[in-house]
Amino acid sequence: MAERPQSPWFVREVDPVVVERLAAAIAPNRQAVEMGVDIVGDPHREDDDGRNWTRLRYARRVVDVTPGSVVVMGSSVGTYLAKVVAWDFEVSDDDPIVTLDILPVTPEAVQRALERSRTSAA
């Protein structure tokens, strides 16, 4: 996967003031709330770099979907763990594109591993 060329709109760190502004402006996405996920997106939608993307307006809570965060992404197909790589403001200052790397594990597999780690080996 090629590294994205430097773009003033593609940001890997978002100013907390911008996060607060967008959190106040974007209501929780109804579908994300109903599904119990952080953000709704199509796992087959990829950008030119092979990364998944969706729009910030599909988040349950904007503050949980900032660059560097690990999120649960949901779709009609299932749920996935993903790392938020960046927000891309090129299209909109009020509803940036959220660029994600889908992780090769399911939330259920992580939950099972965490449960195993809390039990004895006996």
Please write the tens of the pLDDT for every residue from 56-109. 999 999 999 999 999 999 999 999 999 999 999 988 999 999 999 999 888 888
Please give the model's pTM, rounded to 2 decimal places. 0.82
Q: What are phi and psi of 22, to 5 degrees?
A: -70, -35
Q: What is the DSSP letter of 34?
A: H
pLDDT of residue 1: 44
d(C-alpha 59, C-alpha 97), whole Å? 11
d(C-alpha 2, C-alpha 122), whole Å? 46
> Is the C-alpha dihedral spanning 31, 36, 78, 85 positive or negative?
positive
Mean pLDDT taken over the chain: 89
Classify strands 39-40 and 79-88 as parallel, antiparallel or unpaired: unpaired
Binned at pLDDT 50, 70 and 90, residue 110 comes out as confident
d(C-alpha 24, C-alpha 35), whole Å? 22
